[in-house]
Amino acid sequence: MPELRLRPRTVSELVDAAFALYRQNSTQYILVSALANVPLLIVQLVLQPTNPATLLAAGFTVLFTLSLASIVTFAIMGAAVVRLGSEAYLGGEPDLARTLRVVIPRVPALIVANVLLAMLLSIGFLLLFVGAIYVAARYFAVSIVIVLEGKGPVAAFSRASSLSRDRKWHVFKTMLLVFLIYFILSIGVSAFATLTGSSVIQLVASTLFTIVAYPVIALTQMMLYYDCRIRNEGFDLEQMAATLDAGSAALATGGAAQQ
């Protein structure tokens, strides 16, 4: 397992560190991912029409409901995983209950930010796909900023843009690598589920894969956030100084108590 101290990392090192964080607390990540995805799975199973005429009549309602549920699901899941991963990366003890108490009040801001980001990505797709890549790289940390810094949706876009300044290629390559790993694994799961010939089994298998694997993507984004802060703001030095100050204060307190 690679060491997880605060330092600048290459693309492969960031993804490797994300997997290392995942292995340290995989149970908590899977649990929070399941809490977010199982309700969505139930909605999909209930709303899944089998009759083509029903599908045509209920198409818009089903699509809107699933889209809304997906936005809420991934907002909660991504935010909780980022918060848990951040606590572990900074040397704390991840606590799922405490994390949910912090994350849930920020869900409305996360939903607004995700909708705005989706609109920008849609506009970017119209610009020969390159625009979407630029938007994704520039604003990769919007949700993370809301979760870890407590900023509102608009301020989060400005902050994310500042973090990714001169780092967009680094961000893009890192996310491309982790999504490529995720995509290849998902193909294998989908191919296996397709052999059953059951759409329900395929849907359940896809959800189970998301529950287990998607936290790695969120952890990689979180690692990128700290990597940008380390490179741009000297965050590692700030943390080191804070640790030294805390140690000095503890020694002073202990010495005073002995006297």
**What global pTM score does this model have?**
0.84
The more confident residue out of 87 and 40 is 87
Residue 164 is classified by DSSP as: T
Q: How confident is the model at residue 185 (pLDDT cuts 50, 70, 90)?
A: very high
Whole-angstrom Cα Rg for the chain: 21
Task: Give the amino acid at 68.
Answer: L
**What is the residue whose two structure tokens read 């938007």?**
135
The mean pLDDT value of the chain amounts to 84
φ, ψ of residue 196 to 5 degrees: the values are -75, -25
Interatomic CA distance for residues 19 and 10, integer angstroms? 14
Scored b (16 or more CB within 10 A) or e, 47-58 reads eeeeeeeeeeee
